[in-house]
Chains A and B, each alone.
Chain A
Amino acid sequence: MPRIAVFIVQRLVKAVFVVLAIAVFNFFLVHAAPGDPAQVMAGEAGAADAQFVEQLRQQFGLDQPLTTQLATYMGKVVQADLGYSYRQQRPVLGLLLERLPVTLSLTLTAFLLALAGGVLLGTLAAMRSGTWSDTAITVVGLTAYATPIFWIGLMLILLFSVNLGWLPAFGTETIGAGLTGIDAVLDRMKHLVLPVTTLALFYMAVYTRLTRASILEVRDMDFVKTARAKGLPEWRIVSVHILRNAILPVITVAGFQAGHLIGGSILIETVFALPGIGRLAFEAVLQRDYQVLLGIFLLTSVVVVLFNLLTDLIYSLVDPRIEVAR
């Protein structure tokens, strides 16, 4: 079997273990919560319906010993049965999958924007380290890093939507406008500008910092001196020798953090009223719909695991020292 296939299989097996471990954790959360597990699972709305609660008790075997309950629960997880939301009157999984695309498009776009912007600014700051532009970038970065995401969102709405009227404040599309084709696409994009920017700002600050530090460190390494001793032009030294080596750790850290942007989407989607998983989490909190919350917890963890896998793969392809593909 080719080395890379072995690598993927190894990592997938590990990923499955992680997901199962999280499911177990889920299970214990329900039982650790105050009150009757059946009522916890039913949620605030469902708990009022005695018949529903009894049904749940049967389904999950909540009067059985703990180990049997765990087995039942794990069995359901493996079959992708994440429970039923009484409030929404539908299975949790379907609900989540319906909302996932919005969240993913928000998160991925923000991630790519943050990475591109961060690397660019970080490189600029490092190349001009000590000058006012470096200081400026660092200070702005520090401030962005200290600002709560939800507040940035609100302030951006205030500025660009309320005061300037350039961009829409809520939703994914202008309701009732009946737009088609390219206009519809543009409309959707306009609606994503503020949310994506908000989510990206925070992480852009992180990546700027990371890139800058990495470049400064690589710049002092021996092989850069060798490149200079060879009489190579400065631009080649920077692009091939410094940047290529400096970007590597940034990609790894960023990649492993990518999954966590999903947590930020809870806040963004709440502020901008986007119909994604984050917003669903907010509603589930308000409605005490615990099955939905736990389902979101499990699903987002799976997303993170997949992201990590992807990052691992990319990193192993880019760094020849990792003995996988070559």
Chain B
Amino acid sequence: MNAAFWRAYARNKGAVIGLAFLALVILLAVLADVLFPDSPWDMTTAPFQPPLSEGAPLGSDTLGRDIAAGIAHGARVSLLIGLTSTAVAVLIGVLLGAVAGFHGGWVDDAVMRFTELFQTIPNFVLAVVLVAIFTPSLASIVLAIAIVSWPPLARLARGEFLSLRNREFVQAAVTTGQSNLTIIVRQILPNSLSPIIVSASLMVATAILLESSLSFLGLGDPNLMSWGYMVGAARTVIRQAWWMSFFPGVAILLTVLALNLVGEGLNDALNPKLARKGRA
């Protein structure tokens, strides 16, 4: 991550805005306890207060809980779940994909069949089933999202490893006597990281959407106030209190959008210096 990278990144204005907003969300998550010292589950004010009321800048919900506090603490939940589930998915996916792409042959076939199977299953349905059966908790949600999200990463890693394995500089490494492990770590991995990083950042966004959808259906961790849960809880009173579902939804929208923009920016900035093909 040197100066050249940041300059390339900064060329995409959307990406810069995205990064700035993301920083804001992270800040909010970190400072949630400072800004809103009470638990978001506490009933701090009268119920059904509209926005810009005393003690409830974004309004209050059916039980008198502060929406703004919910959003601040919810930021933590979203980021936490988004990041951990993506990390697990990346681990599983890249491992499987690398093994498949590097080894080739029947190992590749087997892993690909397995990946295809998972890709055929509608992932949201599976996530719902998994969380329902293993009872909703932070762990089950993270695992469910990871299990549902790893296939595209495996495909990506496999593609990269497969194409790099046959690249001439890797073949040269073989002929000069480097061991398989050294080749994977020093030759292939550094050249395949970029697309994986980009994919991972976009995956955090999808993970947050998945988590909010699960929470909306009531499958969130019952101890965690998440944005999805807030929208779900407000579903039946939408006529009377539009703000209860509006603000948490906007929070999800903006965070996911920011992450998408950052992912795109990374993609543009990390694009390898493709050599000109052809005569010197």
Contact = CB atoms under 8 A, between A and B. Distances in A.
Interface of A: 18, 21-22, 29-30, 32-34, 40, 139, 142-143, 145-151, 154-155, 157-158, 162, 259-260, 262-264, 266-267, 270-271, 281-282, 284-286, 288, 290, 293-294, 296-297, 300-301, 304-305, 308
Contacts of A260: 122-124
Nearest to B127: A263
Interface in B233-262: 235, 238-239, 242, 245-246, 249, 252-254, 256-257, 260-261
B260 A146 contact: yes
Contacts of A139: 14
Contacts of A162: 238-239, 242
> Ordered nearest first, which 4 A-B pairs have the shortest CB separation?
A263-B124, A151-B249, A146-B257, A146-B256
Nearest to A301: B121
B67 interface: no
Interface of B is mostly: helix
Contacts of A33: 133-134
Interface stretch (B37-45, B189-197, B211-219): B211-219
B260 A142 contact: yes
Given A158-B238, A267-B216, A297-B129, A304 B121 contact: yes
Interface of B: 14, 116-117, 120-126, 128-130, 132-135, 205, 209, 212-213, 216-219, 228, 231-232, 235, 238-239, 242, 245-246, 249, 252-254, 256-257, 260-261
13 contacts: A21-B117, A146-B260, A147-B252, A147-B256, A148-B213, A259-B120, A260-B123, A262-B122, A266-B128, A281-B125, A288-B132, A304-B120, A304-B121
Contacts, number: 130
Contacts of A150: 213, 216, 228, 231-232
B133 A262 contact: no
Contact of A147 (B217, B242, B253): B253
Contact of A142 (B133, B238, B257): B257
B125 A262 contact: yes
Contacts of A148: 209, 212-213, 216, 228, 231, 249, 252-253, 256
B129 A266 contact: no
Contacts of A142: 14, 257, 260-261
B21 to A, nearest CB: 11
B129 A294 contact: yes
A154 B129 contact: no
A61 B232 CA distance: 40
Contacts of A271: 235
B249 A263 contact: no
A256 to B, nearest CB: 8
B253 A143 contact: yes
A278 to B, nearest CB: 9
B228 A29 contact: no
A67 B129 CA distance: 23
Given A148-B228, A151-B231, A281-B125, A305 B120 contact: yes
B122 A157 contact: no
Contact of A157 (B133, B232, B238, B254): B238
Contacts of A151: 231, 245, 249, 252-253
Contact of B122 (A149, A259, A267, A286): A259
A162 B217 CA distance: 22
Contacts of B238: 154, 157-158, 162
B150 to A, nearest CB: 15
Given A162-B239, A263-B124, A296-B125, A285 B249 contact: no
B117 A22 contact: yes
B128 to A, nearest CB: 6
B120 A266 contact: no
B214 to A, nearest CB: 10
A266 B213 CA distance: 10
Contact of B134 (A34, A157, A270, A285): A34
Contacts of A154: 231, 235, 238, 245, 249
